[in-house]
């Protein structure tokens, strides 16, 4: 997302210095409990948790910044600190311009009031005067497209209508800074499209957007800068595709830690390395990928099938084959065997991919499954996203 405007120096809009946030987790919450656990005992009932540690960020106007990280990494907290909703424990946050926050939707909607009344209330919370809201009401209603429901109470709305109205008000409040937390994933597809279009036009108008999302595709599509948080600290700040790759590595290492994937009986070891490259190197389009699986099984099964899948980080299978399809027979399964699968001329889009390996008998029963036992990254030329690689070229034709 290159910015067409370079003539004017882009001013800073948000600055944070050494921002840390400590949460005190208390287990006693009523007066009685607190009196009982007063003093030394009380300290045992509280736990410190640092949601953010020493965050230094300077965000320039017109930027679209993505905040990513696993659950509990502090990204939503950071967004709230930037929005002034939570005060940081230490450090300072400075910002300027009009701000609108979409943190969970329908903030400020009162269920007993009608949609129209809520629009006025919500708009004034976002800093619009009554006259300004009057002027924009038609636009807001058109954007939300909820028809005559605007004059019925909000509690009768479907969640989709709720979201549409809330989003419509927020984007029409003329914000310089828009904070978005995980809300673009609600609403139907048509509305999501509308939101994305609106965000694009926001980018063109030089508005600043800070977005928290779990959708890496969305982040890569929208942001020109991504901040990766891990346990409240900034791990990476800058190029989106690097951030997303680092994040996936982080997720993968966590998952392995939790599962203890190593040494599962049956499928002992799996690797996926492009021919002529080192393990860990990015796989280039057209490479020959060699998948090697070591299977340890002394069941003496007469005949068996080895199945290999390549999955995207979303778990979608982008490629799968079995030794049955290729008509390969391995003979009785008695001891340690190494199976090699060569994938010629592999052309995958940029991203991280995982290898799943299964051992089955001819009845289709799974003897051993190892999902996501190996992974590899593919190179990113920045020209496309998706799971298929092809070199794009645009040209206008008469």
| CA–CA dist 30, 239 (Å, integer) | 47
In the complex with another protein, which residue's Cβ is closer, 12 or 281? 12
For residue 5, state whether it binds another protein (rule: CB under 8 A).
yes
Q: Report the nearest approach of another protein to the CB of residue 14 (Å).
A: 9
Neighbours of 235 (CB within 10 A): 16
Out of 1, 97, 193, 388, name the contact with another protein by CB under 8 A: 97
Of 68, 69, 27, 82, give the one whose Cα is nearest residue 49: 27
Give the distance from CA 10 to its chain's centroid.
27
In the complex with another protein, which residue's Cβ is closer, 23 or 319? 23
For residue 95, state whether it binds another protein (rule: CB under 8 A).
yes
Of residues 54 through 73, those in contact with another protein by CB under 8 A are 61-62
Per-residue binder mask for another protein (CB under 8 A), 268-307, x = binder: ----------------------------------------
What is the helix (H) or strand (E) element at residue 318, kind and residue range?
strand 317-322
Q: If you compute the radius of gyration of the chain from its CA atoms, what whole number of angstroms results?
A: 26
CB 362 within 8 A of CB 275: no
For residue 27, state whether it binds another protein (rule: CB under 8 A).
no
Of residues 120 through 139, those in contact with another protein by CB under 8 A are 120-121, 124-126, 129-130
Out of 139, 205, 303, 381, name the contact with another protein by CB under 8 A: 205
| CA distances for 319 relative to 5, 269, 389, angstroms | 42, 20, 13
Neighbours of 218 (CB within 10 A): 17
Out of 58, 84, 317, 320, name the contact with another protein by CB under 8 A: 84
In the complex with another protein, which residue's Cβ is closer, 35 or 279? 35
Half-sphere exposure of 377 (CA within 13 A, CB side): 16
In the complex with another protein, which residue's Cβ is closer, 48 or 344? 48
Scanning 108-116, 238-246, 277-285, 295-303 for contacts with another protein by CB under 8 A, the matching segment is 108-116
Out of 139, 151, 188, 204, name the contact with another protein by CB under 8 A: 204
| CA–CA dist 387, 318 (Å, integer) | 7
Q: Report the nearest approach of another protein to the CB of residue 262 (Å).
A: 39
Q: What is the largest CA-CA distance in the chain?
A: 83
Scanning 66-74, 75-83, 241-249, 335-343 for contacts with another protein by CB under 8 A, the matching segment is 75-83
Of 248, 220, 287, give the one whose Cα is nearest residue 372: 248
Of 262, 226, 232, give the one whose Cα is nearest residue 245: 226
Per-residue binder mask for another protein (CB under 8 A), 166-185, x = binder: ----------x---------
CB 154 within 8 A of CB 118: yes
Query: Looking up tokens 């003496």, which residue turns up?
Result: 300
Of 72, 77, 70, give the one whose Cα is nearest residue 55: 77
For residue 331, state whether it binds another protein (rule: CB under 8 A).
no
Write b or e for each residue in 78-99: b if 16 or more Cβ atoms lie within 10 A of its Cβ, otherwise e: bbbbbbeebebbebebebeeeb
Out of 52, 93, 222, 308, name the contact with another protein by CB under 8 A: 93
Out of 66, 69, 74, 83, name the contact with another protein by CB under 8 A: 83
Scanning 74-82, 138-146, 294-302, 354-362 for contacts with another protein by CB under 8 A, the matching segment is 74-82
- Cα angle value 345/385/4 (rounded, 5°): 135
Q: Report the nearest approach of another protein to the CB of residue 298 (Å).
A: 56
Out of 18, 92, 158, 338, name the contact with another protein by CB under 8 A: 92
For residue 15, state whether it binds another protein (rule: CB under 8 A).
yes
| CA–CA dist 315, 308 (Å, integer) | 14
CB 181 within 8 A of CB 215: no
In the complex with another protein, which residue's Cβ is closer, 97 or 335? 97
Of 66, 97, 88, 122, give the one whose Cα is nearest residue 19: 88
DSSP character at residue 11: P
Scanning 26-34, 236-244, 261-269, 355-363 for contacts with another protein by CB under 8 A, the matching segment is 26-34
In the complex with another protein, which residue's Cβ is closer, 166 or 357? 166
Q: Which residues bind another protein (CB under 8 A)?
A: 3-5, 7-11, 13, 15, 23, 29-32, 34, 61-62, 80-88, 92-97, 99, 101, 103-104, 107-108, 110, 112-113, 117, 120-121, 124-126, 129-130, 153, 176, 204-207
């Amino acid at each position: 997302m290159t910015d067409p405007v370079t003539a004017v120096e882009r001013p800073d809009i948000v600055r944070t210095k050494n921002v840390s946030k400590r949460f005190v987790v208390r287990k006693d919450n009523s007066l009685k409990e607190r009196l009982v656990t007063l003093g030394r005992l009380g300290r045992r009932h509280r736990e410190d948790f640092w949601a953010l540690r020493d965050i230094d960020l300077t965000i320039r106007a017109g930027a679209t910044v993505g905040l990513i990280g696993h659950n509990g990494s502090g990204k939503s907290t950071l967004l709230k600190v930037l929005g002034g909703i939570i005060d940081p424990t230490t450090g300072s946050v400075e910002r300027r311009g009009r701000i609108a926050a979409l943190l969970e939707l329908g903030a400020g909607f009162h269920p007993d009031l009608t949609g129209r009344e809520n629009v006025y209330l919500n708009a004034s919370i976002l800093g619009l005067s009554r006259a300004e809201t009057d002027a924009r009401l038609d636009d807001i209603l058109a954007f939300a497209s909820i028809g005559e429901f605007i004059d019925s109470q909000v509690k009768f709305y479907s969640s989709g209508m709720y979201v549409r109205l809330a989003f419509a008000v927020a984007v029409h409040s003329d914000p310089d800074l828009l904070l978005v937390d995980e809300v673009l994933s609600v609403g139907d597809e048509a509305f999501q499209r509308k939101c994305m279009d609106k965000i694009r036009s926001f980018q063109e108008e030089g508005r600043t957007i800070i977005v928290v999302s779990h959708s890496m595709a969305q982040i890569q599509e929208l942001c020109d800068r991504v901040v990766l948080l891990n346990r409240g600290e900034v791990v990476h700040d800058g190029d989106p595709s690097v951030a997303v790759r680092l994040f996936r590595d982080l997720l993968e290492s966590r998952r392995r830690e939790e599962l203890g994937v190593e040494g599962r009986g049956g499928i002992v070891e799996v690797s996926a390395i492009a021919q002529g490259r080192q393990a860990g190197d990015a796989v280039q389009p057209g490479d020959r990928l060699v998948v090697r699986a070591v299977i340890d099984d002394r069941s003496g099964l007469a005949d068996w099938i080895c199945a290999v899948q390549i999955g995207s980080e979303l778990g979608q299978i982008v490629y799968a084959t079995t030794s049955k399809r290729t008509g390969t027979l391995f003979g009785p399964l008695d001891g340690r065997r190494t199976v090699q699968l060569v994938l010629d001329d592999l052309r995958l889009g940029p991203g991280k991919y995982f290898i799943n390996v299964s051992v089955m008998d001819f009845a289709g029963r799974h003897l051993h499954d190892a999902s996501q036992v190996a992974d590899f990254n593919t190179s990113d030329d920045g020209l496309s996203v998706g799971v298929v690689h092809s070199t794009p070229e645009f040209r206008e034709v008469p």
